[in-house]
Structure 1
Amino acid sequence: MRRQHRKTAAFLWPVTAGSKITYNLAEIFPNRIWTNQVLVSLKASSPAFLLRMNQKYGHLRRGIQQPELDDFITACAVDTLKHKKPWLTLIHLVDMDSMRHRYGVRSDEALAALHRLDQRVGRLIDATIEAGTFAQTNFAILGDHYQINVDHMIHLNQAFAKRGWLTPTTAGTVKNDWHVWAKSCDGSTYVYTRNFADLKTLRTLLEQTPGVERVSDQQTAQARGADPTCRFMVEAQAGYYFTDETNRAEVVEAVDPDSLGQPDRYHGVHGYDPLKPDYFTTLVLNGPSVKENQTIERADLIDEAPTFAALLGVKFPNALPGHTLLDALKGASHEAD
C-alpha cells in the first residue's frame, strides 16, 4: 500500500506501534518505571497526528479509562475518515471487552457497552457517507475472541515455588533462576522448563491441580500452533483462569469481587482453546465487494488475513495461514485461496 502511495490509518489497533502507517494512534502501554503513557504513545504513534487529535478531542478522555477512551478514539476516527479519507482504516474499540472483563460476559454493564458500540459504529459509517466514500467502502466488523465468566484463579507459579522449582520475588513475580515457569494466557497457560528432568512429576502436578481441564505436551501444542518452545500447554476449565503470580495463600483461590478491576482480577476472560464449547467470535462483512445475505457457518481467525488481503487486492510472496472466505466475496475464485 505504501508503494502505491495509499494513505492508511489505525486507531488503537494491536501490534502497530512504530508502524509506517500514515495516521497512527498506537495501542501501547508503559511497562518501565522510567516512562509514562504520554511518552510511549508519542514514540509509538504518528506524533504530530496524535498531538493534533488530542488537542481537538482530548477533552473526551479520562486517561485510558473506558468508556471515555472509545469516545475519544471514535471522534478521532470520524475526523480522519471525513477529512483524510484513508484507503485503509483500522479501528480497535475496547469498551465492551473492558466491561466483560470487569462485570461478566452478559452483565448489564456489558450490554450497555454493546449499545455504545453500536452507536459508535453508526458514527463511523455516517462519516464515510459524509466523506462521499461510503459506496466504495468495504466494512469488516470483527472480534478477536469471545470471553467466559470466571470466579477462580490458578497460580501455577505458586505451586512451582513450593517445590523449589522457582524463586519468587517480594513483588510476586519470578526470579530468573527458575527451572519451571508458567506464563499465563488467561484461559490457558504455557509451562516452560529449563535444566529440569522430572517431567512426569510436573505433568502429574498439572493434571491434579483443581480447575485444570487438559495438559498438552510440547508436540501437541506445537501442532495446534502454540509456542514450540513450551514444555506443556495447560487448559483451564470454564470458570477458572491462570495468573503468573507467586506469594499467594493458595494455588487455587476464589476471585474476591471487591478486587475486580485491579490487575489480573477478572469476572470474564479469554485465551481458552478455540475448540471450547460455545466459544466463538464474529465477523460481519458489507460493501461493494461483498456478497449479500450470505452466512458462513464456520471459519477460523486465521482465515481473516487472506480474506482481507483479497478485499484489498494485496498479494504476498508466500501463502498466508488460513483460507480466503470465497463464499463471502463477489468475483472471488479459488485461485485467491
Structure 2
Amino acid sequence: MQPKSKYVIVISYDAFSKDNWESAKSKPHLAELIANGASTDSLKSVYPTLTYVIHSSYVTGVYPNKHGVFHNNPFQPFVPENDQAWHWFRRDIQEPTVYEAAGKKGLKTAGLLWPVSGNANINYNIPEIKAVKNENQALKILKSGSKLFTLTMEMKYGKVRQGIEQPYLDDFTTLCAVDTIKKKKPNLLLMHLIDLDDTKHIHGTKNPQIENVIDRMDRRIGDLVQAAKDADIYDETTFIIVGDHSQLDVQYKAYLNRLFYDEGLIYEHNGKWQWRAYIQGAGGAAYLHLQQGDAEAEKLALSILDNAAQHGAYGIEAILSTEKLNELHVSRQFRYMIEAREGYAFEDDHLQEAVVDLHAIGKKYATHGYMPNKPNYTSNLIISGSNVIAGSDIGEVCVVDIAPTIAYILNLDFPDTDGRALTEIFK
C-alpha cells in the first residue's frame, strides 16, 4: 500500500474539548482545516483523563493497562506537588510507539514538548521536561533531547519564552515547529500546545480569556499550515489536531489523606512520615495505594472511604474496584480508585483540612482526571489533508485510535493496538 501522505503533523491541543468546538470552528484556520477534512467533537479519552496517560495512549494505540503510564506523576508520597518528578521519559512507556515505527522505516521524526518523550528515539526532539528542586532546566532538556537541535532552537527563539508562562511557551513551541517543518521536513512531527489547558486550570472553563486563547491557538495553527506551504509539502501533509481531555469547574478540593491521617493510616515515625494507605490524587479521580499484605489497613481505608462517600461533603461519586477498573483498562497494579463528583477534585496533602471551599477564598479552578464517560466531557479531533474526504464526520472514536491512524497514513508496520485506523475518512 502507498502512504496516504508523506508527512503528518500532529498538534496536541491540550484541553481542546467539546465546549470549545463552536467557538473554534468559527476561526479561519481551523474552519479551513475542518472544511478540507474530517472532524468530531466526540473523541473519548482514557482513564484517568490526565495528559501523560493520554499522550502515552496517543503514540502506542493502547490503554494504560498496557502502556504502563498511570498518572502524570509516578507515586511519590509526601513529596509536594511542585517537587514531584513526572513521567518525563520514553522508558516509562512499556509498549512500542508510532514514532519508533516511523524511524524503523527510515522516516524522519520530530517531537516538540511532547509528553513522555525524554531520551526517545526521535530525530529532532525537545521533550517536555521541567526542572525540580535544584535542577537546571536548560541542562535537563539538553540531556534528554537532541542536543544540537535543542541548542539551535534555543539560540534562535529562546528569548520568546518566559519560563513556562503562557502564551510565551506555546509561541516558542510554534516557532520551533515552523522552523523544523521548513528546514527539516520531518515525516512525523508531534507537538504539544498547553495555553488552553493552563488558562482553564487557572481561570475556570467559562472565563472570557478562553476566547482569546482560542484566537491565539488558531493563529498558531495557521502558522504551521503556512510553514507546510512554504516548505512545499502542504499537498502531501495530513494535519491531525487533537484534544486530549476536557476540564470541569471545581469548587471544592478534597484531601482524603487527612481522613487517613486522623485514623492513623498515615503517621509520623522517627521524624518521617509513613503510610499504610495513601490517596494519590488525579484531579477528578484518585488512586488508593495500599501497603502490600496489610489487610487490616485495606479494610480500614475502605471503611473510611465508604463513610466519606455517604457524607456528600467529600465529593466521592464512586469507589471503583477491580472489575470496574478492568473494564476501564486501568493499570492492573491498582485494586481501587475513587471518582469525584462534578465540582470536586482530589489532592494528596494529609495535613490540610479535609475539604477546602475554593469559592470561599476567592479562587477559580478547573481540572480533569474524571471518568471519560462524564456528560459533555469529550474532546475534539480534526484530520485534514488532500487525502481526506472533505466534510467527513468522524463520529465517536477514542484516543487509542490516533496511533493506528498515523500508521495507516504513513503506511507503517504497527500491529497489536487496542485502537483502530480511521480508514473510512480517507479517499
Deviation digits for residues 34-59 of structure 1, max 9, x if unmatched? Answer: 41212211111111111111111111
Listed as ranges, the matches of 1:13-52 within 5 Å are 13-31=114-132, 33-52=133-152
> Partners of 1:38 and 1:267 in 2: how far apart?
30
Residue 203 (structure 1) shift: 4.2
Secondary structure (helix, strand or coil) at the match of 1:100 reads: helix
Does 1:111 pair with 2:200? no
Residue 206 (structure 1) shift: 4.4
* CA contact 1:218–1:229 (8 Å) conserved in 2: no
- Match 1:180 to one of 277, 284, 304: 277
What is the match of residue 212 of structure 1?
Answer: 316
* CA contact 1:138–1:288 (8 Å) conserved in 2: yes
Residue 258 (structure 1) shift: 6.7
Read off the aligned partner of 1:5 and give its amino acid letter.
G
**So what's the TM-score if we normalise by structure 1?**
0.89
Equivalenced residue count is: 318
Does 1:201 pair with 2:303? yes
- Match 1:306 to one of 404, 410, 414: 404
Listed as ranges, the matches of 1:122-141 within 5 Å are 122-141=222-241
* CA contact 1:192–1:229 (8 Å) conserved in 2: no
Q: CA RMSD in A?
A: 2.0
What is the match of residue 9 of structure 1?
Answer: 110
Residue 60 (structure 1) shift: 0.6
> Partners of 2:360 and 2:224 in 1: how far apart?
36
Deviation digits for residues 258-287 of structure 1, max 9, x if unmatched? Answer: 786xxxxx6110111000001010110011
> Partners of 2:207 and 2:409 in 1: how far apart?
36
Does 1:251 pair with 2:251? no
Deviation digits for residues 230-259 of structure 1, max 9, x if unmatched? Answer: 2311111111101111211x2111126878
> Partners of 2:234 and 2:359 in 1: how far apart?
48
* CA contact 1:180–1:196 (8 Å) conserved in 2: no
> Partners of 1:55 and 1:279 in 2: how far apart?
40
What is the match of residue 222 of structure 1?
Answer: 326
Residue 324 (structure 1) shift: 2.1
Listed as ranges, the matches of 1:150-169 within 5 Å are 150-167=250-267
What is the match of residue 334 of structure 1?
Answer: none
Secondary structure (helix, strand or coil) at the match of 1:2 reads: helix
Does 1:57 pair with 2:168? no
What is the match of residue 275 of structure 1?
Answer: 373
Identity %: 34
What is the match of residue 333 of structure 1?
Answer: none
Mark the runs of 5 or more structure 1 residues left unpaired by the alignment: 261-265, 331-337
Deviation digits for residues 114-166 of structure 1, max 9, x if unmatched? Answer: 11000000000000001000000000000111111111101011111111111
> Partners of 1:94 and 1:234 in 2: how far apart?
27
> Partners of 1:71 and 1:293 in 2: how far apart?
30
* CA contact 2:105–2:412 (8 Å) conserved in 1: no
Residue 202 (structure 1) shift: 3.8
- Match 2:382 to one of 262, 274, 284: 284
Mark the runs of 5 or more structure 2 residues left unpaired by the alignment: 1-101
* CA contact 2:124–2:149 (8 Å) conserved in 1: yes
* CA contact 2:309–2:315 (8 Å) conserved in 1: no
Deviation digits for residues 285-310 of structure 1, max 9, x if unmatched? Answer: 01133221110221111122212221
Read off the aligned partner of 1:219 and give its amino acid letter.
E
> Partners of 2:387 and 2:349 in 1: how far apart?
48
* CA contact 2:110–2:123 (8 Å) conserved in 1: yes
Read off the aligned partner of 2:379 and give its amino acid letter.
T
What is the match of residue 92 of structure 1?
Answer: 192
> Partners of 2:309 and 2:268 in 1: how far apart?
23
> Partners of 1:168 and 1:255 in 2: how far apart?
29
Secondary structure (helix, strand or coil) at the match of 1:138 reads: strand
- Match 1:296 to one of 373, 391, 394: 394
Secondary structure (helix, strand or coil) at the match of 2:224 reads: helix
Read off the aligned partner of 1:187 and give its amino acid letter.
G
Residue 83 (structure 1) shift: 1.2
* CA contact 1:168–1:247 (8 Å) conserved in 2: no
